[in-house]
Structure 1
Amino acid sequence: MLRTRFTALLTAFLLLLTTVLSTATAAAKPTLDLPATGGPFPVGTTNLHLVDHARPDPRAPAPGPRELMVQLWYPAVPVGARARYGDPSVDRHYADLITALGLGRGEPFLDRVRPTARLDAPVLPGRWPLLLHSHGRGLMRSTTTAIAEGLAANGYVVAAVDHTYDAAAVRFPDGRTATANRPAKPTEPVLSAEVQVRVADLRFTLDQLSTTATPLRHRLDPRRTGVFGHSIGGDTAAEAMRADRRFRVGANLDGAFWGEVRDKGTPGPFALFSAGTVDHPSFASWRANQRSWGRHFTLPAGVHSTPTDISLFPEVSGLRDLLKDHPDLYRQLFGTLDGVRTTQLYRAYLTALFDHHLTGRPAPLLDQNSPHWPEHNLLWSHP
């Protein structure tokens, strides 16, 4: 399965990256700057702790309400310090993995990744459309920070949800850290059940953003809401549209379909962005049953991690050179495309998708192959 293969490769990548970086001298430690946003608006970010008292957490080791951490990116007044990438406990989680596997004392590296967004910067005046994001299985809300910053710079509020006990590690404001406890080899029914928990997370987050006193409550236009996700988060986005019509348009970044969407499609516009050359059986089923506006784009030279920030690490850390003696592993982890280029590609296509269906702007990029993005192919369209 796409997800199982990616999890194994991701683990290998994290092990290798941390081992490589831990051997560097203190003076030589690099910083990994995310690409410039490419949009007209400066970007801010903030974090929210949400508690769903009406829903017991099905994954928690002890009874209690479902708790979530949500990160927002938004058009902002450019004041304040640049935000951290993720959270120190998440960084420590990966370093501890190295130690636990007997590969030496792991050293954190995510703290060297430098986002563009400024922490807790004031939101710009206006009523901004809202996009919710669901991460891949075992990843975290920060994994698509570069795409989120690009969308925010083009006039969107992006809310990325950490799906607690599925995300690698989630740190709450009181210092508690919840680590992943999902099955390592899930069956299709297990994956479908996980998607339903995720869908409930997204719907609750949308409720809270729309009705409670969050910093952006009066800056959101709830009539213009979209949803997207990576891997199992892509299926989550599609199922969220079936469950809640407030999600008007959605996108799946290289995830198979496990639920009703596979056989019934989505009730609104939806785009699938697959990576690699494998046409998963669920892709064909979705195409056959999608009655609303739909597009399937392929990135043949991409891999499952291409739509995430993982694709940027070799470009800004020198890992491409450090892996020159391991070309097969490099290609499996990163494909053959430049990470900055693919980040810009996904930003362009997602911005066009949401602009077209949430603001009514023309989007010819979605209707034909583009000479500017020759590596990206339109495989299928309806209508």
Structure 2
Amino acid sequence: MRPAQGSSAAVAPSPSASAAATNSLKATQTAPPGTPGTFRVRRLQLTFTEPAHPGPSGESLGPRTLIIQLWYPAGSARGRWPLPLILFAPGFQQCANPYGDLLSAWASAGYVVAGVNFPHSDCKVATATEDDMINQPGDMSYALTRLLALSQRAGDAVSGLIDRREVAAAGQSDGGDTVAALAANTCCEDRRLTAVAVLSGAEWAPMPGRYFAGTVPPMLFVQGSADTVNPPWTSVQLYEGDSGAARYYLDLFGADHTGPYWGTNKTEQIVVRVTVAFFDRYVLGRKTALAVMTRDGNVTGSAAMVSAGAPVPSG
């Protein structure tokens, strides 16, 4: 759905890192992932051209241009390379940059973060349309395939950067709808995902498949209780539709549609800590991160978190 805020321009790309420069970063710092602020963050922009292909409803799609904005640690997390990846889907008429503080926080905790700007709904499109959302999960899968291929290719700026076994996805608003379908709709499921965070998202009715018809990865649903764009019931529907044991609902009391994800504020810091702990648990397999999620997701007067089908609190 559409936020009331206006669109934002994409950032100018950072200078492309050479393979030699990237390799030099691998030796600059060693630390375990999981703590925002551990690593300095570098930026890189890539452009992918998705070839013509059939869409999920059988329609013929022409070539699609995807602008990929990368945030990544300037140092080797866990004392080794490659690193875990989080694919990120922005909201309607947005590019990844308004979410830059949140995405940079994930990267500073040891993750490569790839914001995927969609060809018919991003901040640069003169006449954006939500009708193309059914094709956006396919854009995410294509971007993942290309990023993994580049990471495997010698001499590229991202050579050796990404661990193909440690891949998560996240998205906000229409981007949340996109990754919900990518994780849990039969039209678009990508089995390479190990965890998915849906930030103020919903089930998108025009998606041609069925939601939660099979096994889905661990999922975290984050929702502001005062959101009037994607109201709380949309995230509750996702949480209650997910029958998996590893499902979580983070209720942000009094928060609106974009405040928890744009800029730096108290609520955004809760989102940072809980999402990093969620990814640490289900992307990196760190069991102790569940205690961190519980601690940081339950803040008197500000937030509450439930799991495994427990009733959603009233914020």
TM-score by length of 1: 0.61
Alpha carbons 2:196, 2:220 under 8 Å: kept: yes
State the partner residue of 1:352.
277
Aligned to 2:178: 236
2:248 to 284, 288, 295: 295
Mapped partners of 1:359, 1:154: distance in 2:
12
Give the aligned partner of residue 219 of structure 2: 270
Tell me, yes or no, if the aligned pair for 2:224 and 2:257 is still in contact at 8 Å: yes
Residue of structure 2 aligned with 1:377, choices 304, 307, 312: 304
Q: Identify which range, 277-286 or 125-134, moves more after superposition.
A: 277-286
- Greater C-alpha radius of gyration: 1
Q: Deviation at 1:262?
A: 4.8
Shift of 1:72: 0.7
- CA deviation after TM superposition for structure 1 residue 307, in Å: 3.0
State whether residues 141 and 161 of structure 1, in contact with CA within 8 Å, keep that contact through their aligned partners in structure 2.
yes
Check if 1:227 corresponds to 2:180.
no
List gaps (5 residues or longer) in structure 1.
Answer: 15-36, 78-123, 170-178, 313-338
- Cα distance change on mapping 1:303 and 1:369 into 2, 3 Å: same
**Post-superposition shift, 1:38?**
4.1
Structure 1 pair 373/141, CA: closer, same or farther in 2 (3 Å)? farther
In the alignment, structure 1 residue 341 sits paired with structure 2 residue 279: no
| Cα-to-partner distance string for 1:53-74 (whole Å, 9 max, x where unaligned) | 243899xxxx951111101111
Secondary structure of the 2:283 match is: helix
Aligned mates of 1:261, 1:135 — CA distance in 2 = 23
TM-superposition CA deviations, 1:308-356 (whole Å, max 9, x none): 32xx3xxxxxxxxxxxxxxxxxxxxxxxxxx422232211111001000
Partner of 1:136: 91
CA contact under 8 A between 1:273 and 1:296: conserved in structure 2? yes
RMSD between aligned residues: 2.9
Tell me how many residue pairs correspond in the alignment. Answer: 261
- The CA deviation string for residues 181-206 of structure 1, in whole angstroms up to 9 with x for no partner, is 234xx6xxx4xxx3331111111111
Question: Cα gap change, 1:281/1:263 in structure 2, threshold over 3 Å: closer, same or farther?
Answer: farther
For residues 296 and 47 of structure 2, the distance between their equivalents in structure 1, rounded to whole angstroms, comes to: 41
Partner of 1:166: 121
Change (3 A) 1:378 1:125: closer
Secondary structure of 2:120's counterpart equals: coil
Residue identity matched to 1:274: Q
In structure 2, the CA distance between the partners of 1:41 and 1:261, relative to structure 1 (3 Å rule), is farther
Say if 2:132 is the partner of 1:203. Answer: no
Please report how far the alpha carbon of residue 381 of structure 1 lies from its aligned counterpart in structure 2 after TM superposition: 3.2
| CA deviation string 1:6-26 (max 9, x = no partner) | 2xx313x98xxxxxxxxxxxx
Shift of the alpha carbon at 1:291?
Answer: 1.9
- 1:244-280 CA-partner distances (Å, limit 9, x unpaired): 1101110111112214565547611001000124664
Identity score, percent: 24
Question: For residue 375 of structure 1, what is the amino acid of its counterpart?
Answer: S
Could you say if the C-alpha distance between residues 198 and 217 of structure 1 is closer, same or farther in structure 2, counting changes exceeding 3 Å? farther
Q: CA deviation at 1:287?
A: 2.8
- The separation in 2 between residues aligned to 1:373 and 1:302, in whole angstroms, is 14
**TM-score, structure 2 normalization:** 0.74
Whether contact under 8 Å (1:265, 1:286) holds in the other structure is no
Whether the 8 Å CA contact 1:264–1:290 is kept in 2: the answer is no
1:131 match: secondary structure:
strand
